[in-house]
Structure 1
């Protein structure tokens, strides 16, 4: 399953005096991330804070570069410190993105706030050949970005929680039922089809429309001649697991146990669309690259989480196929 949409987005912030260093950092990390530097993210007719908050919502990682730009006297000692706005933005991105995905890159000798005492901070020097030269430190961060990009964690948007719920409420019990009972009822038919073996195909569309997945489900089923089915009859007092269904190969004797293909598009994906609309400004009509990126990222994360859960379930791992980027 190919579930990586694009390179992750990396916000890089600094003081104006450190823009040369920022460009060096962006160059070192360009292979692993799509770098977005602070001078280019501020929008016309919006406050700087509003632009930063929006950037924190649409980025996967952040780096704030702390350089010796200011002098501060504290308890009789003069220290060289970073700009206040750099520390503020570091805290903002820590809270909005993740403490695991936001890094403070500090020039050697820079006095940092005491709140950071005891926390590992990446100190760098521009002197090449040193153990903490800027290219060396950036390589360490690059390796960490690669590692974290393949992992999932709870964030502001809900794809991780949705995937966990979908697995526990649908995929796992359906697979367990089919292994133990193996009966499927087609829509409007009272006699069950007995299942010998099955494959559950979980379909994740390449894009999520503003209406969610219902339109995609209807068109996909019509295009592939799929029939509605469930584990219980429609008038049964028991709650069945609904899905769409195809006998494959089609010439099997229905009086005996058959091989079947089951298809499902998680309707819970609609929650992702609604969450992104709430997260970002929806006051205009037209293409929004940030929304498209978030949809792609959340779909990929949903697929990754679900695949991890399926791979750890003996009832599911050989019987569930997750297909990402499905187009009609």
Structure 2
């Protein structure tokens, strides 16, 4: 099972707390603390702009946890108070804006007074003098993240692409077969029909050419049919297996993910960096997850199978 990725931010003085949080989460998540220096997982790379690295991290990770401690003394309307380091608050806002409030949590000391702007954000408090409270609050955040949906749109279009693909191809094929009690091909009517959707492990520059090469591994015949409400015929490849007509499709709409990464992270896209590969893999999984949820919602899950190209 692939673990979701969590970014942990904190002040440099409170890195020991971040280590405890990481140790608590590592069983279920792939966790990175902001200061870790291994090249492939480091948030801040050598000779790169810190803000650019943060922006990239907010796109690369599935969840964010920011640890707020009593680091700085500030005066608010004549009253002295302690609040988290400015960079922690900045990162909290950045990750919340990028990931959404359900995928970002603020782990704070119990006595910190919060801004009203943070209302609605997931908050978990702990007592710095009692490590057990930190672990307990981290476990609560873990449960929240584990239960969160995986089909939010965010800055990448994978969920939207899955919905469009479902409405324009998957749903019409399933409805046509159900309404006609099968599908007729070459004078024979096949009562048993299914749709196999092949999703690649990687997306190449020319997705159409990539899928054509994949298609050559399978002996297929193209069919087309008219479905009510659609302006043109639906065209799709098929093969016959054990008296079952199998529709086979390679969703070229996935090229939209590459376009999004190319615009948001052009350097990583051009260099096929580890960050690019991590984001691409996550978005392909999110496409599949969204598609499967739509299939279940519409009752097509027993008829449609989503596979990776490695299973061909």
With the length of structure 2 as denominator, give the TM-score of the two structures. Answer: 0.88
Change (3 A) 1:172 1:43: same
The answer on 1:226 being equivalent to 2:211 is: no
8 A Cα contact 1:203 1:326, kept in partner: no
Instruction: Give 5+ residue unaligned stretches, structure 1.
Output: 186-190, 250-257
Q: Give 1:8's aligned residue.
A: 4
Q: How far 1:173 moved relative to its partner?
A: 0.9
Q: Give 2:303's aligned residue.
A: 319
Q: Give 1:89's aligned residue.
A: 91
Q: 2:197 aligns with which of 198, 202, 224?
A: 202
Larger Rg: 1
8 A Cα contact 2:10 2:18, kept in partner: yes
Q: Give 1:138's aligned residue.
A: 138
Q: Secondary structure at the match of 1:111?
A: coil
Q: How far 1:65 moved relative to its partner?
A: 0.8
The root-mean-square deviation of aligned C-alpha atoms, in Å, is 2.3
With the length of structure 1 as denominator, give the TM-score of the two structures. Answer: 0.84
- State the alpha-carbon separation in 1 of the partners of residues 131 and 48 from structure 2: 43
Q: 1:19 aligns with which of 9, 15, 20?
A: 15
8 A Cα contact 2:268 2:276, kept in partner: no
Change (3 A) 1:98 1:325: farther
Change (3 A) 1:114 1:43: same
8 A Cα contact 2:101 2:120, kept in partner: no
8 A Cα contact 2:183 2:191, kept in partner: no
8 A Cα contact 2:56 2:265, kept in partner: yes
- State the alpha-carbon separation in 2 of the partners of residues 281 and 321 from structure 1: 33
- State the alpha-carbon separation in 1 of the partners of residues 121 and 231 from structure 2: 55
Matched positions, count: 302
- State the alpha-carbon separation in 2 of the partners of residues 19 and 93 from structure 1: 19
The answer on 1:112 being equivalent to 2:108 is: no
Worse-superposed segment, 281-290 or 80-89 = 281-290
Instruction: Give 5+ residue unaligned stretches, structure 2.
Output: 36-41
Q: 1:268 aligns with which of 242, 253, 261?
A: 253
- State the alpha-carbon separation in 1 of the partners of residues 195 and 122 from structure 2: 45
- State the alpha-carbon separation in 2 of the partners of residues 45 and 205 from structure 1: 34
Q: How far 1:120 moved relative to its partner?
A: 5.5
Q: Give 1:167's aligned residue.
A: 166
The answer on 1:282 being equivalent to 2:267 is: yes
Q: Give 1:253's aligned residue.
A: none
Q: How far 1:286 moved relative to its partner?
A: 4.2
Q: 1:244 aligns with which of 220, 237, 243?
A: 237
The answer on 1:42 being equivalent to 2:51 is: no
CA-to-partner distance for each residue in 1:191-220, whole Å, 9 max, x for gaps?
6653322111111112212322x2332122
Asked which structure has the greater RCO (Cα within 8 Å, sep 6+), the reply is 1
Q: Give 1:188's aligned residue.
A: none
Change (3 A) 1:243 1:184: farther
CA-to-partner distance for each residue in 1:210-234, whole Å, 9 max, x for gaps?
322x2332122211212222225xx
